Amino acid sequence: MIDEHDINQYAARQLLMLRQTTGISQKRLGEEVELSPQQVQKYERGHNRLSVGKAMQFAEAFDVSVLVFYPPRGDCQSTEPLPLPTVRILRLLARIPNECYEEVYHVMKAIANITTRDDVGE
């Protein structure tokens, strides 16, 4: 049977990951969904359960599907948070125009090849 606590914790981790990855403060996110920063923190820590309505508001704020807050069936396992260097890179990538992605990919691939001397798979 599905453990409700595990699902709630999954949703909390997803919310925290989305906010950290996009670089939005708890204050700014709270303003977008009409919550205090303290309430946002409670949702991120799993102290407050994420209702369907609130999940929809958060999904809209991040421009993602509400399904991001629901685990695939049978997969509520804890996931490791993204390392800070990865989050910093993702924040920068989010600011790059789509038409530049190919060039950015080639630069990153070249850097990876220089540092590892291995070919990074495509």
Q: How many domains does the chain have?
A: 2
pLDDT per residue of the chain (122 residues) written in tens, 0 to 9: 678 888 899 999 999 999 988 889 999 999 999 999 999 999 999 999 999 999 999 999 988 888 889 888 755 554 555 677 777 787 788 888 889 989 998 998 888 888 765 544 55
Question: 97 and 54 share a domain?
Answer: no
Residue 109 belongs to domain spanning? 84-116
What's the CA gap between 113 and 14, in Å, rounded?
32
Question: 94 and 58 share a domain?
Answer: no
Contact (Cβ atoms closer than 8 angstroms) between residue 6 and residue 76 = yes
Question: 12 and 64 share a domain?
Answer: yes
Angle at 58 between CA 80 and CA 12, to 5 degrees: 30
